[in-house]
Structure 1
């Protein structure tokens, strides 16, 4: 049974993690969510639910403006061959979310932990980060360190990768 938004908030509270959540109209894309930039502080992300040729699942969580070369990503994340997007049905069964609501908070439903979380190193360098709390009608702000605590508490040790080099050029 997928975790609910109430389950998520209770889990975070149980870990002693403080968050702030803002409700808003449904947001399905990074472009739509950029309209909220003046009202929600912190870094924002794009989240990709992917699978490889052997069926291994990956959740790539990157800063919203990161350039990700899907043709070469498998080389960096240890996938078996090129990756493709997981279906909406697979996403809902494993993360408990619908397309447009993909979030690292979805790994709460991935028990036992089988999805490999790949996290953009830029998102954990400090400051607050923002994600949908399992629905795209809200955005939850969490401290970067607390995001790592959450992921580890769910059994998901993230693979940290830099998606942009020092000059801002993608290194993928």
Structure 2
């Protein structure tokens, strides 16, 4: 199975159910559908189709990581930001980090590789996944992210994204 909406009903929470929850909470978003985007390069190839001129937007990349003590982390960064996992682990005081497996990603965040997203914290908070986010998100007007599948992109206002995190009781550790 891939990470597209064709298989969303095999996830603990489907993309449609997430979007319905956003609607119920009154969190506005724009949604774009497209072919599956598996990498930042894939996303860059289509982002011009969705861009609103003059909009202060943040496009993100997301890393599902684990440490040697088997703790899980979701790290959301500006999509072009370089990251050194060893330096990040040292900076956060959590030791060596490595990428989590596809099975653990599904178990802990309820998504498949290629669809990693801050919105997956709706599942992650229940599984003690720690969330780190690029401080650039604080300055953005809107943030582009996958709604648990990789053939859809939602654009949330930064204030609505923060309201989402409040609703699910997700603590954010900001990365400088």
Deviation per CA, 1:2-61: give whole Å up to 9, x if none. 211122112212221100110000110000110112122332111000011101111000
Which residue does the alignment assign to 2:83?
68
Taking structure 1 as the reference length, the TM-score comes to 0.88
2-structure distance, mates of 1:12, 1:77? 31
Alignment partner of 1:102 out of 106, 111, 116: 116
Q: Stretches of 4+ moved more than 3 A in 1?
A: none
2-structure distance, mates of 1:63, 1:31? 13
Going from structure 1 to structure 2, the CA distance change for 1:89 and 1:64 (only over 3 Å counts) comes to same
Taking structure 2 as the reference length, the TM-score comes to 0.86
Going from structure 1 to structure 2, the CA distance change for 1:10 and 1:78 (only over 3 Å counts) comes to farther
Which residue does the alignment assign to 1:133?
147
The answer to which structure has the higher helix fraction is 2
Native 8 Å contact 2:108 2:123 kept in 1: yes
Q: Secondary structure at the match of 2:128?
A: coil
Q: How does 1:38-117 map to 2 (within 5 A)?
A: 38-41=48-51, 42-79=57-94, 81-112=95-126, 114-117=128-131
Structure 2 segments unaligned to the other structure (5+ residues): 1-10, 52-56
Alignment partner of 1:35 out of 25, 45, 52: 45
1-structure distance, mates of 2:114, 2:140? 26
User: How many aligned residue pairs are there?
Assistant: 161
- The range that moved more, 85-94 or 111-120, is 111-120
Which residue does the alignment assign to 2:173?
159
Structure 1 segments unaligned to the other structure (5+ residues): 163-172
Aligned-pair Cα RMSD in Å: 1.4
